[in-house]
Amino acid sequence: MKQGGTREAAAGAESAVTLDEHIVEIVSDSGEGAQKCGQSFASIAARMGNGIWTVEIIPAEIQPPARSIEGASGNRIRLGSQAVTNGGDAADLVVVFNEHVLLGRLRDGELKPGCIILLESKWRTDRDPEVSGLYATIYNELIAGGYRVYEIPMETECLRHVADARRGKNMFVLGLLCRTYSLDRELALEQVATTFAKKGESVIAPNQRLLEAGWEWAEENLDIRFKVPAEPAEEPRLVVNGNTALGLGVMASGMEVCAMYPIPPATSASHFLSEVFGSVGGVVHQAEDEIAACAFAIGASYAGKCAVTITSGPGYSLKQEGIGLAVMAEIPLVVVNVQRGGPATGQPTKAEQGDLLSACFGSHGDAPKVVMAATDIEDCFYSVITARKIAEAFNTVVVLLSDASLGTAQQPFPRPRFQEEWLAPPVDQSPIPKGVTPYDWDPDTGLARRFIPGQPNGMHTLTGLAHDRKSHIAYDPEINEEGIRRRSLKLAALQKTLKTPSVFGDEKGEILVVGWGSTKGAIEEAVQRVRADGHSVSSLHLRFLQPMASGIKEVMQNFDHVMTVENNWCDDLEDQLIDEENRRYSSLAWMLRARCLVDIDCWGEARGRPIKPGCIEEVIRQRLH
């Protein structure tokens, strides 16, 4: 060991430095198990009561070249004494399996200056002089750059316990990290048993041995030890990522059909459902394309089984015509869009909130639909249940927006207890009463009874053409407008049931930051930080984007300056050609300006990653001066 401490300094739990929070990254080449290591580490910490937020670090390719900057794969875990609501700013400690994957993280500004780096040292003695030379160069640069680098012979140590170190290194590192962060050793061993439960004792035992080896190595050799104290959890908590939470929500909502086409970053929700949906009588249909997936879901829903189609940006674009049909014909449908970077193929695995306007206004003609956005992992679960209910109560399309930053992030939340009211009612096959028509629109709310094939006396032909109350094709101007009016009224009827979202912070002040969807945790953390310095800054977070609850304008009028913070593009007034007349605003800012006639500013970035609370904090501070 060239840098760092001595064996003496490493002894004893008493020497652990107490921290409020720490951000840890584990980064490897693809396939070396860093993800599993990070998830296990997070689960152990969660059981001990720590707040956690984990973020997957995913390379764009399946098998990127080994030891490459682009190949970084792994996990970030933000560990806190209290609840953690986002991935935080830069990392405090990073474990890396080779120095190249580290470079990518450095380039992206993901590591704190001077942070601790636990580095696999086997490359120093690599037979290929180019490899060993590069390693030495980079190592020296890191030291010169002020990083605290600990060289760890991970592979050598692992080979003392298993034949293939590449597959065991992650558990060695897990042991090392558990010891470093003073986690409970028994819980860690238990976690390994849980992680490999399916594979049996012959796999569990060697992995537990590796965990112990990592623990002991750290005990003997590392002079760093931290403790992020937490009140032990009293209630069971669920640790899942946003996509699994979505899948669980689909299952718990009583839906029976999920029609999809593979597309990142949404697909893992369908992977999960494919495993488990059958146990509640559900089917995941992998359609031939996105259009078919949407049409299939529409067919299933028309036949009485409310269905969901799960996709991401490009797939959402392809579904737009089908969504318009479901709006026109008033067929309940839940569409989940786990947003990614766009337009076109964009950034398939990266985070962006770029689809709000196409979700609200997409599809040709006037196609009013409900648009919601999940604000955190827990909300991914409950929003699906809400979406299904609204879709069926209003016979309309509900678009649920998530994004890559929620899809792959984990955050513990109280374990839901099943409620029977979550489920859809059984398919109604009772006869339609005489005189009731398929579009028997209520004049005030636009609502009409849902007809389901199989119901006697309900026979009619549903059509995507303009139609009257009997579902007869009608090109009559009055009838056309009546249909448009009734479909539009349904949004107003829903809007009357929505509560004004509550303000985070004081209800009056200098700056109000408005956000939607996945940025809630980061925005509120940033607001909290500037409030701690005595500034009167508050935030408002929207879950319903269309319709929007009443009272939002009144909230905004109590602040000197209102701005949205969104993970999407807005023109920068500093750019030479940009002025107030041609500036393109962030999506929510467009909508709020139109809705509320308030001069709303915006700040956004489209860097393909979750917005960091530190960035938002900086933006707020600039606006304060």
Partner 1 sequence: MAMSVSAPRCLQWSDREDYQLEDYEAEVPRWCTGCGDLAILAAVQRLCRDEQLPLEKLVFVSGIGCSSRFPHYMKTYGFHGLHGRALPVAEGIKLKRPDLHVFVNTGDGDCCSIGAAHWLHAIRYNMDMTVLLHDNEIYGLTKKQASPTSPRGLKSNTTPRGTHLEALNPLSTTLGVANVSFVAQAVDWVPTVLYEIISQAFHHKGLSFIRVVQRCPEFLPTHFDPWMHDPDRLLMLTHEDGIQASPELSRTYKQQEVHDPGEMNRAREIASLKDQIPVGILYRNDEAPCYEDVVGSGPPITGPEKIQASVEAELDKFTVWPPSEGREGRG
Among 20, 201, 220, 289, binds partner 1 (CB under 8 A): 289
61 contact partners, CB below 8 Å, separation of at least 6? 30, 70, 71
Q: Does 454 bind partner 1 (CB under 8 A)?
A: yes
Q: Does 614 bind partner 1 (CB under 8 A)?
A: no
**Environment class of 554 (CB within 10 Å of its CB; exposed 0-12, middle 13-18, buried 19+):** exposed
Q: Does 359 bind partner 1 (CB under 8 A)?
A: no
Question: Segment near partner 1 (CB under 8 A), from 125-133, 296-304, 387-395, 518-526?
Answer: 296-304
395 contact partners, CB below 8 Å, separation of at least 6? 330, 331, 332, 447, 448, 450, 490
Q: Does 382 bind partner 1 (CB under 8 A)?
A: no
Among 13, 83, 205, 459, binds partner 1 (CB under 8 A): 459
Of 138 and 252, nearer to partner 1 (C-beta) is 252
String of contacts with partner 1 for each residue 312-351, x by CB under 8 A: ---------xx--x---x----------------------
String of contacts with partner 1 for each residue 253-282, x by CB under 8 A: -x-xx-x----------------x-xxxx-
| CB atoms closer than 10 angstroms to residue 406 | 32
Minimum CB–partner distance for residue 114 and partner 1 (Å): 33
Q: What is the spatial distance between Cα 397 and Cα 204, in angstroms, rounded to a whole number?
A: 47
Of 289 and 533, nearer to partner 1 (C-beta) is 289
Minimum CB–partner distance for residue 66 and partner 1 (Å): 32
Contacts of range 285-291, beta carbons closer than 8 Å, 24 or more positions apart = 285/257, 285/258, 285/259, 285/260, 286/260, 286/261, 286/262, 287/259, 287/260, 287/261, 288/261, 289/261, 289/318, 290/261, 290/263, 290/314, 290/315, 290/316, 290/318, 290/319, 291/318, 291/319, 291/321, 291/322
Q: What is the spatial distance between Cα 403 and Cα 351, in angstroms, rounded to a whole number?
A: 6
Read off the tokens for 311: 């996709």
Question: Segment near partner 1 (CB under 8 A), from 31-39, 161-169, 229-237, 541-549?
Answer: 229-237
Minimum CB–partner distance for residue 242 and partner 1 (Å): 13
Q: Does 425 bind partner 1 (CB under 8 A)?
A: no
Minimum CB–partner distance for residue 592 and partner 1 (Å): 33
Of 130 and 420, nearer to partner 1 (C-beta) is 420
Tell me how many residues contact partner 1 (CB under 8 A).
75
Among 72, 152, 252, 400, binds partner 1 (CB under 8 A): 252
Q: What is the spatial distance between Cα 110 and Cα 234, in angstroms, rounded to a whole number?
A: 33
Closest CA to 584 of 567, 602, 598, 599: 602
Q: Which amino acid is present at 125?
A: T
SS3 83: coil
Minimum CB–partner distance for residue 425 and partner 1 (Å): 11
Of 299 and 509, nearer to partner 1 (C-beta) is 299
Minimum CB–partner distance for residue 463 and partner 1 (Å): 4
Question: Segment near partner 1 (CB under 8 A), from 205-213, 458-466, 488-496, 511-519?
Answer: 458-466
Q: Does 416 bind partner 1 (CB under 8 A)?
A: yes
DSSP line for 531-556: HHTT--EEEEEESEEESPPTTHHHHH
Question: Segment near partner 1 (CB under 8 A), from 141-149, 171-179, 228-236, 345-353?
Answer: 228-236
Q: What is the spatial distance between Cα 268 and Cα 246, in angstroms, rounded to a whole number?
A: 10
Strands 333-339 and 307-311: parallel
Phi (first) and psi of residue 182, to 5 degrees: 55, 40
| 323 in Cβ contact with 360 (< 8 Å) | no
Q: Return the ∠ at Cα 312 (arms to 310 and 318), rounded to 5°.
A: 90
Of 24 and 298, nearer to partner 1 (C-beta) is 298
Minimum CB–partner distance for residue 455 and partner 1 (Å): 6
Q: Give the number of residues written for the chain.
A: 625
Minimum CB–partner distance for residue 383 and partner 1 (Å): 16
Cis peptide before 368 (omega within 30 of 0): no
Q: Does 36 bind partner 1 (CB under 8 A)?
A: no
Q: Does 457 bind partner 1 (CB under 8 A)?
A: yes
Q: Does 439 bind partner 1 (CB under 8 A)?
A: no
Binding residues for partner 1 restricted to 44-83, rule: CB under 8 A: 46-49
